[in-house]
Amino acid sequence: MGDSVLSRLKATRTAGLEVENDVLIGRNGTLFIFQGGHKLYEQAQGKHPLTAEARDAFAQNLRSRRALCAERGIGFAHLFPPDKQVTVAEDYPLRDVYSIGAAVREQLDAPFIWGGDMLTRSDFHRTDSHWNIHGQFKMMPPLLHELGLDDLLPEVLGWRDGLAERKFTGDLGVKLSAQPSEIASVLPPNPDTTRYGNGLKPAGNEGTIEVVLNRKPLVRRTLLVFGTSSTQV
C-alpha cells in the first residue's frame, strides 16, 4: 500500500472534508491550513467577519506608521497578502470563501497594497501555506512604486529569467505522513549576501530578527520590515 493511500486512510473525513494533522487536503492535492490557531476554516465560512474595531485599529496604525516614517524621511509601504484559500479558492472545499482582506479593501480608502486583486492560483505553493516566488515577483511593481523605486523594476523582474527549479515539500506537506512534494521555482543562491539571525529557541514568530547584508545591491540603502514569514528575507 503506497504512502499516499496510507495517508488518505489516516485522514479524517468530516462533512466531506479531508483533514490530516490540521492540514486540509483540497482539490488537485492543494494543501491548506485547516483551522490553525485562528480558526481558519471558520473564517473562510464568514463566521468571524470584519469588525469595526479591527478595521479602525488597522486604519489608525497605517496613519501613524506613515506619519512616523514621514517625520524621519523614511519611505513607507504596507503589504497585505491574501490567505491561500482566498487566492486558490477553486481548490478549496467551500463554494464561497470569505475574505476579510477584501472587506478591508472595500471599506478603507487608505493606501496599502492588497495582494488579493493581483495574485492567482499559480502564485502559491501547492504544499506550502505561503506565496511562491512568482507571487512575490507580482508584488514588486506596487511595492517598489510605493517606495519610489520604480526605476529598479526592470532589473528586478529580469531576475525571473534566472530562476531554478527544485523538489520542495512545504510547511503543510511536511505535516502529512505521505510528505507530498512539488517542483518549485527558486532564486539561485546569491554569493553576495550573508544572513544573521537572533536564533530564537524554540523557533517562533514574534521577536525573530534576520539581517541580510548585500555587498552588490541594486541600491545602497537599508530596508526595515516588520512582518511575518511571508516577507521573511
Partner 1 sequence: MPLLSRIFEVTVHCRARFLHRDVLDMVKPDFCVTQNLERYFWSTRSDLNALPFFLIPHLRDREPAYSQKALEIIGATFSHGSLRHDAMLRMLRRGRFPGAHLRRIQP
Query: Which 186-215 positions form the footprint of partner 1 (CB under 8 A)?
Result: 187, 190, 193-202, 204-215
In the complex, the smallest distance separating the C-beta of residue 5 from partner 1, rounded to whole angstroms, is: 31
Minimum CB distance to partner 1 smaller for 1 or for 161: 161
Which residue's entry shows cell 517598489? Answer: 144
> Is the CB of residue 76 less than 8 Å from the CB of residue 65?
yes
Smallest separation (angstroms) from partner 1 to the CB of 146: 9
Identify residues 5-64 at the interface with partner 1 (CB under 8 A). 33, 36, 38, 40, 43, 48, 50-51, 54-55, 57-58, 60-61, 64
Residues of 13-40 as b/e, b for ≥16 C-beta within 10 angstroms?
eeeeebbbeebbbbeeebbbbbeeeeeb
Q: Which residues between 100 and 139 bind partner 1 (CB under 8 A)?
A: 100-101, 104, 133, 136-137, 139
Total residues at interface with partner 1 (CB under 8 A): 87
Residue window 73-92: x/- pattern of binding to partner 1, with contact defined by CB under 8 A: -xxxxxxxxxx--x------
Q: Which of 69, 89, 94, 174 binds partner 1 (CB under 8 A)?
A: 69
Which CB atom, from 10 or from 39, has the smaller least distance to partner 1?
39
Question: Pick from 27, 107, 117, 227: which binds partner 1 (CB under 8 A)?
Answer: 227
Residue 97's contacts (CB-CB under 8 Å, 6 or more residues apart) are: 44, 85, 86, 89
Question: Is residue 231 at the binding interface for partner 1, with CB under 8 A as the rule?
Answer: yes
Q: Residue 117: name the closest of 104, 126, 128, 133 by CA.
A: 104
Say whether residue 219 binds partner 1 (CB under 8 A): yes
| Burial (CB count within 10 angstroms: exposed 0-12, middle 13-18, buried 19+), residue 44 | buried
Q: Within 10 A of 174 (CB to CB), how many other CB atoms are there? A: 14
| Residue 168 binding partner 1, by CB under 8 A | no
189 by Cβ neighbours in 10 Å (0-12 / 13-18 / 19+) ranks as exposed
Of 7-15, 88-96, 164-172, 218-226: span binding partner 1 (CB under 8 A): 218-226
CA angle 45/49/50 to nearest 5° reads 145
